[in-house]
């Protein structure tokens, strides 16, 4: 994407994004968007079961959505591998006719 500058996922903005996801997840009692198990929102990084920000659409493929709160979901730190969730939302078409 030429001309698009997306600030890196770091620093104060990242901390604020995590705080937003944690507060929203705590209020809604949202489970991990990957494993669907409960999240203990009181746990702090680097605890593997602490809350992290999962980008529903990956930052690599959709850099323009990196800082869009509608693209954030709570996930356990150890579940969040940074690939985005779009592959989990449907397999799509196969490459061959089976």
Cα atoms found within 13 Å of the Cα of residue 7, Cβ hemisphere only: 7
Instruction: Give the global pTM.
Output: 0.80
As averages over each run of 10 residues, the pLDDT of the chain (98 residues) reads 82 97 98 97 96 95 95 96 60 43
Q: 50-59 pLDDT, tens per residue? A: 999 999 999 9
Report in angstroms the alpha-carbon separations of 59 from 18, 38, 39, 92, 95: 15, 25, 23, 20, 25
Residue corresponding to tokens 């944690």: 22
93 near 35, Cβ under 8 Å?
no
């Amino acid at each position: 994407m030429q001309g698009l500058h997306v600030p890196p996922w770091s620093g104060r903005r990242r901390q604020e994004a995590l705080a937003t996801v944690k507060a929203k997840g705590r209020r809604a009692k949202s489970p991990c968007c990957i494993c669907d198990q409960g999240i203990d929102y009181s746990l702090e990084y680097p605890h593997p079961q602490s809350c992290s920000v999962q980008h529903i659409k990956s930052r690599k493929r959709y850099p323009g959505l990196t800082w869009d709160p509608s693209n954030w979901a709570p996930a356990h730190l150890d579940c969040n591998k940074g690939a985005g969730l779009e592959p989990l939302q449907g397999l799509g078409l196969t490459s061959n006719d089976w």
